[in-house]
Amino acid sequence: MAARANSTPPAFDPESTLLAGFGRRFAALMIDWALCLLVGSLVADPRGVAWPPVAVLVLMNTFFIGLFGQTPGMALAGIRCVSIEDGGAIGLAKGLLRAVLLALLIPAVIMDQARRGWHDRWAGSVVVLKKKP
């Protein structure tokens, strides 16, 4: 008991926060993917060249999640991706790691009880419902 009294609690407790469900997360991803297809089609036809939309998805997720905690699709779906350590943005390096793993898709589908996919666990992030102002 004395050891617990001296230890500091985590700055962010995902168990006391409302976690985003699969439906909102999927809707956000579909909105973001539609944006990526539009932007990627400026470079090449997505029906013939598949990499531009995927590259845009990785860049968009790295930038928006890394710095602001949400992509445009997440903003519309009312969810945020935050650091499990402090509840803030995860930064560009972890944002890039999370984005690359998300582009691989499989890590995102395998979730634990806290609805964290491999991409979230490896990046130290969790997707939560956005607090109302």
On whether the CB atoms of residues 35 and 73 are closer than 8 A, the answer is yes
pLDDT at 39: 95
Residues of the chain with pLDDT under 50: 1-9
Report residue 66 as tokens: 């890394």
On whether the CB atoms of residues 36 and 108 are closer than 8 A, the answer is no
pLDDT tens column, 24-52: 999 999 999 999 999 999 998 888 898 99
Which amino acid type is present at position 52?
Answer: P
